[in-house]
Amino acid sequence: MYHNVLKRGYMWKKGHLRRNWTERWFVLKPCSIAYYASEALRDKKGEIQLDKSCVIEPVVDREGKRCMFCVKTHSKTYEMSASDQRQKVEWTQAMQTALRLQSEAETSLHQQLKLKRRVQREHGQRERSRSARSSCSSRSSQSDDTCTQEMEKMEKEKDRQDSEIECILQQARELEHHRREAEEKERRKHMEVQMELERQLKEAEMVKDGGAYL
């Protein structure tokens, strides 16, 4: 259940029909935000699909709720309220991270599809070359010299195509490697931001406690 989870925790969510506020347990992954009745995860109440059209925006506090923000999709707007400002920042940053990770994954998939189509074209060309060589070998002995030259030409073309395909595959591997590095860097950055927020919160609490003794 928690594979690839970026963040989880309780928040308040505004309903779309009754327009009332209900506390839900949220689980954020790179492609979705699922919400449940409790952290037991037995009663799933809904799921927000994340894509490149989604927008995360702050919302002015109202209706007795604070630390509000919303997730806008192509069809709905989901309003949420975090427990405090620190949680609001963590949730919005985590959701922005999810959107970036998904965008990078879509780019990688697009590159893979382009590569697949290219390899299929090259494979078709090689098959046609083999067919031509087979036809050539069945000709009469009078055309042996011409046939040999044609076969050599086809072999060179095949070698060139194989080399080009290997180059494309290498580029795809490098793109995937860079994508994974960027994803890991983004995760580390998110964790560092969370740790810094916690440090600032502890400092603020220490200052507050120190002032209470004066």
Tokens of 84: 């405090």
Mean residue pLDDT of the chain comes to 80
With vertex at residue 78, the alpha carbon angle to CA 185 and CA 61, rounded to the nearest 5 degrees, is 95
- At 156, the pLDDT band (50, 70, 90 cuts) reads confident
Which pTM does this prediction carry?
0.54
For the chain, what percent of residues have pLDDT higher than 90? 37
pLDDT at 187 over 80: no
| Structural Rg of the chain based on CA atoms | 29
pLDDT at 81 over 50: yes
* Tens digits of residue pLDDT in 1-46: 445 889 999 999 999 888 899 999 999 998 899 999 999 999 999 9
Q: CA 156, CA 126: separation in Å to the nearest integer?
A: 11
pLDDT at 212 over 70: no
Whether the CB-CB separation of 99 and 72 falls below 8 Å is answered with no
Once rounded to an integer, what is the mean pLDDT over residues 158-170? 72
* Tens digits of residue pLDDT in 84-95: 999 999 999 999
Tokens of 121: 């074209």
Higher pLDDT, 46 or 183: 46
Q: What is the pLDDT of residue 139?
A: 55
Once rounded to an integer, what is the mean pLDDT over residues 72-77? 94
Once rounded to an integer, what is the mean pLDDT over residues 169-184? 74
Q: In terms of Cα–Cα distance, which of 12, 9, 7, 2 is closest to 25?
A: 9
* Tens digits of residue pLDDT in 131-140: 666 665 555 5
Q: CA 5, CA 7: separation in Å to the nearest integer?
A: 6
pLDDT at 76 over 90: yes
* Tens digits of residue pLDDT in 48-66: 999 888 999 999 999 899 9
Tokens of 168: 């494309």
pLDDT at 214 over 80: no
